[in-house]
Structure 1
């Protein structure tokens, strides 16, 4: 289980958080296209925005890791599995909803839980 969490945290840091930063900067869901990313690299200029994005990326990664950990802990508890989120419109929550990993409580959008895929089998 410890190895699984280490891999999940690395995935969030290396792949998911950069995409969330791009979405935060105005890209469509899923980040910039390959052409947009290449153009940005061609410009090869380090701006204040780039420096800020590093801090924003770390912040988004922390938020997504904390939410994921809370969701996993709630899934193993005897409770309903719902976790209260402070901002249902946050990038982390919206990413997990779009990825079909979590579902929003029908009666209150401030609560989310991991989707139960075991019912499909």
Structure 2
């Protein structure tokens, strides 16, 4: 089956108070439990928001250079991701919708290129 990435940029979350975020815990974890129960969940998780905790690795010059911080300055950055293993685009979009409802902010969904997850599936 194809695998899909469901993700959001941190800026899509919006400004909310602590109570609002606490109200999203149960609905969002319920979606993850449903994914687990239906056997479609590969991975789900949020990323640390502090960009100063990021590091970048670049070998395009022929030499590996690892630096602190994000690779490029940008106005948006990845906030979290979910990987699902489902039969088709329609199923992936349905799960992306469930994640969006559970979290309370938009999600984008994209199919992985064929063969791009070989390392995970062969080694796992």
Query: TM (normalized to structure 2)?
Result: 0.28
Which has the larger strand fraction?
2
Higher RCO, Cα 8 Å, sep 6+: 2
Which has the larger helix fraction?
1
